Structure 1
Amino acid sequence: MEKTTLSLLLLLLPILYITGTVESVAAVPSAYTNFIKVSCNTTRYPALCVESLSAYSSEIRQSPRQLAQTALSVSLARAQTAKTFVSKVTKFKGLKRREYEAVKDCMEEIGDAVDRLSKSIQELKSFGSSKGQEFLWHMSNVETWVSAALTDENTCVEGFVGPDSEGSVQSSITARVVNVAQVISNALAFVNQFAGKH
């Protein structure tokens, strides 16, 4: 009898687990996911926007401020990953001098972008319920830093443009950095929208 009960319990456990998982996914209101989709339609890279932010819908809810904050955090995480990758590339043996210089310059640009995104996130978190001129001043800082971070990423990519820059090293760096630039571009759109609503 005990064996039968145990067997039945073991059979039911995966079903209970799956049911619990489905319920937890379903627990995110569709209004939250719709808010992200509608918001992403206003960006330059809507598909990437939805892909990078959907997992955070329960945190973002329907808050323009939280949307901007999360988009910046996602941008920072991707920029840090790109920086780590580029840092490893600088240690590759066999890089030509021009390649090495371009990779080194790119790493500096991404490092600057990481710093600026970090400052933007802190600034957005810190000014609380500021209003009027104080709010505008803080938002101006955030917009300036995020714009500069986007420029940093684009400058990195431009460093690989040229007749002898078709190698796999450049391609792999460019693919990552372009992805980061696109995510930052989307984040900047949300920062500008949030600023415009006040």
Structure 2
Amino acid sequence: MAKLGLFLLAAIFFHFCLAGMAESAITRHSTPTDFIKASCRATRYPALCVQCLSGYSSAIRQSEHQLALTALSVSLNRAKSAVAFVGKLRKVKGIKGREYQAVKDCIENMGDSVDRLGQSIRELGHLGGRAVGQDFIWHMSNVQTWVSAALTDENTCLDGFAGRHMNGNVKAAIRRRVTNVAQVTSNALALVNRFAAKKH
């Protein structure tokens, strides 16, 4: 009877081991797109995250590092595009004094955002798989600080258009464009934080 009990215990243990191996195999062999979708659940705007990153699935593969790097690159490209867009609006005919100043401030804020995102990409790019321990924490802290600052710059631009005296086409166009950049940057920061937590 005791032998039968041990046999049953061994059989149950073996079953769970096999199930665990099958589950890890499924996770390991899921597609890059599945990996991106799963990772984007950690962000504030998951649908936008998947939309932005799924086109880069062959480059990302299933690398947390490459995912964070790609998310930052997408954010940088959108921030640069927004700077050019806002710059054109400064020359719109009939723009009011307060609006003109807000546009000017926004260009400066978005320029700072571009610089900080560029710094974070360079820092994260140098990291690769080499840094470990305190060295890794220090580099990642720099990346997180710069991306957070970039997001603050983007929100500061939007704050400049608050209030009823700013109602108009210029405000609507800038808010739409910069809000999208801020959402993409927020997602990038979430993926950077995810990479930092997993690696650490």
TM-score for the superposition, normalised by structure 2: 0.83
Q: Which amino acid aligns with 2:120?
A: S
CA distance in 1, matches of 2:71, 2:149: 16
Per the alignment, residue 75 of structure 1 pairs with: 75
Q: Secondary structure of 1:99's partner? A: helix
Q: Cα offset for 1:126?
A: 1.1
CA distance in 1, matches of 2:157, 2:127: 31
Q: Which amino acid aligns with 2:45?
A: Y
Q: Cα offset for 1:164?
A: 1.1
Q: Cα offset for 1:30?
A: 5.8
Q: Secondary structure of 2:56's partner? A: helix
Q: Residues 141-189 of structure 1, C-alpha deviation per residue, up to 9 Å, x if partnerless?
A: 0000000000000110011001111101110000000000000000000
Whether 1:156 and 2:157 are equivalent positions in the alignment is yes
Q: Which amino acid aligns with 2:140?
A: M
Per the alignment, residue 3 of structure 2 pairs with: none
Q: Secondary structure of 1:93's partner? A: coil
Whether 1:34 and 2:34 are equivalent positions in the alignment is yes
Per the alignment, residue 171 of structure 1 pairs with: 172
Instruction: Name the Cα RMSD after superposition.
Output: 1.0
Q: Secondary structure of 1:113's partner? A: helix
Per the alignment, residue 95 of structure 2 pairs with: 95
CA distance in 1, matches of 2:62, 2:134: 25
CA distance in 1, matches of 2:46, 2:99: 33
Q: Secondary structure of 2:94's partner? A: coil
Q: Cα offset for 1:79?
A: 0.3
Q: Which amino acid aligns with 1:34?
A: D
Q: Secondary structure of 1:164's partner? A: helix
Q: Cα offset for 1:91?
A: 1.6
Note the 1:39-188 alignment, pairs <5 A: 39-128=39-128, 129-188=130-189
Stretches of 4+ moved more than 2 A in 1?
none
Per the alignment, residue 26 of structure 2 pairs with: none
- The gaps in structure 1 that reach 5 residues or longer are 1-28
State the number of aligned residues: 170
Greater Cα radius of gyration, structure 1 or 2: 2
Q: Cα offset for 1:127?
A: 2.5
CA distance in 1, matches of 2:30, 2:84: 36
Q: Residues 87-126 of structure 1, C-alpha deviation per residue, up to 9 Å, x if partnerless?
A: 1111222111000000000010000000000000000011
Q: Residues 64-85 of structure 1, C-alpha deviation per residue, up to 9 Å, x if partnerless?
A: 0000000000000000000000
Per the alignment, residue 24 of structure 2 pairs with: none
Q: Which amino acid aligns with 1:164?
A: H
- The gaps in structure 2 that reach 5 residues or longer are 1-28
